Structure 1
Amino acid sequence: MDDLSTQSEEIEALCSIYGSDWLCDDEAARSFHITIKEGAFEVTMYITLPCDYPSQSPPNLELSAPALSRLQKQTLALALNDVYLESIGESVLYQWIEKVRELLFEITSVKECDDTELDTKPEPVNENVLEPSVNDISLDICHGNLIQDRKSVFQGHATKVFSTSDVKLMLDSLKSNKKIAQATHNILAYRIKDKKTDCILQDFDDDGETHAGKRLLHLLNILDIYDIAIVVTRWYGGIHLGPDRFRHINNAARQVLEEAGFIKKK
């Protein structure tokens, strides 16, 4: 019964995150499928949940990816197996879906991803220039540590919000800092719970970094936290990072959420 309860919670979360992309084929048999598309490639995952998942058994999985080569399919299957082995006894479907999405990004995207990056270099970022502004005090904005890779710099910012006006105030407060205002991207996601209706208001802004805002919103959804706004600032350093930049954006977001106390530290 514990496994079935865990499955129900996981399915509900996946429906919330992926909406109509997550489809139920047979409710009694606990069979589902989802299609992940990136560029000219797509992968359909057909998933059936055994009664003893996740405590004892993995989900039964079939992949349909006609546009991928045999080697690419083998790489994908091995990656999903590794994800399961790292999470035995825990729900794994979200991690599987996002791993497929990540690998499709890598397959389709080095040029496509690089095209979305700007070629202008910002001024060098100083460790000391990102101190909270006066407005941060009223909003209690938490600033994460800087993550640096090949001259690009990433930093997360998070705060409690209770309205879209609070979200705007957060952005205005951050951009009152000249360095943040001149950053290449300020990627935003937020979730707000209406206290009267229990409905969730959520949205994101890529700010020119395609898919990045949606990934931040996915993170907030899977963590099931609300009344939160998060911004990840990126200063592009002139060297293309390809898909690595999404990993840094995610890490910057998780780090500041932990630092602010919104999620438990690992």
Structure 2
Amino acid sequence: MSLEEEVETIDAIFPDSLKEIGPRRYTLSIPDRRALVQLSFPSAYPDILPEVQSTEHVDKGLVEDILAQVYMEGEVVLFSLIQEVQEVTEEISEEAEEPETHQDHDETSAEAKAAIFAGWTLSDPVVDRKSIFVAHAFTVHSAAEAEAKINHLKEDKKIARATHNITAYRILRDAEKGIYAQDCDDDGEDAAGGRLLHLLSLTGVENVVVVVARWYGGIKLGPDRFKHINAAARDALEKGGYLKK
């Protein structure tokens, strides 16, 4: 995803949150917060981390720490940055706490988040009528491991707040007989889990669990929601190298 495409996506999710102030330079208004973050994007972005040039109503060092934590080389970062700054500023009162307290709080949060997402491959966000879909893929070798990874992922506040976390896993049990351990969960999105598992079977992926988080935007999408769930899942599987050539 290019910077221009990412900006269009963020505008669809958080209208008027980005203001272009120069070539590859934007002021980001954190939704529902007073915080402003000025960012500069190098020409090699997303292969190189963007630079936090200045901030208002939020500590610059805090934003830099959050950005460094959520950034993954080659992956766009604005959506995750906005979500994390929202969460941290919700819990921290800058007027009441010293900068050292901010740093300690963020380090603890960053360590917990790093542990939760370690090893997961994330898709680019799929956005339609303010609904957001993000898929996560992880290598597993047993049903128990798959369930444990799903539960661990849901410890993240953003994932826990998703309207639905649709899951499916497919694990090779006997190569000679072609036996697989597999299961799925709709999490309230009727028939979505079965469709996701069907995608895993069609693509022939093995030893992987996929979690597609959906944040409902207030407008029903009808059958399009299944298309977006599959698109996000396929993107995560491709990025993670699970799809067979």
TM-score by length of 1: 0.49
Contact 1:133 1:177 in 2 (8 A): no
1:257 to 2:210 alignment: no
Code of the aligned partner of 2:115 = V
How far does the alpha carbon of each residue in 1:118-174 deviate from its partner, in whole angstroms, 9 at most, with x for none?
xxxxxxx9432479631332xx11111111111100000001111122112211221
- Alpha-carbon distance between aligned partners in 1 of 2:229 and 2:189, rounded to the nearest angstrom: 10
Q: State the number of aligned residues.
A: 139
- Alpha-carbon distance between aligned partners in 1 of 2:116 and 2:144, rounded to the nearest angstrom: 14
| Greater alpha carbon shift after TM alignment, 182-191 vs 192-201 | 192-201
- Picking from 142, 146, 169, the partner of 1:190 is 169
Contact 1:133 1:173 in 2 (8 A): no
Contact 1:186 1:233 in 2 (8 A): yes
Shift of 1:195: 4.7
Tell me what 1:153 maps to. 132
Aligned ranges for residues 121-200 of structure 1 at < 5 Å? 126-128=79-81, 129=83, 133-137=114-118, 140-195=119-174, 198-200=178-180
- Alpha-carbon distance between aligned partners in 2 of 1:194 and 1:264, rounded to the nearest angstrom: 18
Contact 1:141 1:159 in 2 (8 A): yes
Shift of 1:242: 1.0
- Alpha-carbon distance between aligned partners in 2 of 1:258 and 1:186, rounded to the nearest angstrom: 20
Percent pairwise identity: 46
The higher radius of gyration belongs to 1
Structure 2, unaligned runs of 5 or more: 1-77, 85-109
Contact 2:203 2:244 in 1 (8 A): no
Tell me what 1:120 maps to. none
Code of the aligned partner of 1:162 = H
Code of the aligned partner of 1:233 = A
- Alpha-carbon distance between aligned partners in 2 of 1:264 and 1:162, rounded to the nearest angstrom: 18
Structure 1, unaligned runs of 5 or more: 1-124
Shift of 1:253: 0.6
- Alpha-carbon distance between aligned partners in 2 of 1:183 and 1:145, rounded to the nearest angstrom: 16
- Alpha-carbon distance between aligned partners in 1 of 2:185 and 2:163, rounded to the nearest angstrom: 14
Moved over 4 A (4+): 195-198
Contact 1:141 1:158 in 2 (8 A): yes
Tell me what 1:240 maps to. 220
- Alpha-carbon distance between aligned partners in 2 of 1:208 and 1:127, rounded to the nearest angstrom: 24
Shift of 1:193: 1.3
What is the CA RMSD across the aligned residues, in angstroms? Answer: 2.2
Shift of 1:199: 2.0
Tell me what 1:204 maps to. 184
CA separation of 1:199/1:212 partners in 2, compared to 1, >3 Å: closer, same or farther? same
Shift of 1:264: 5.6
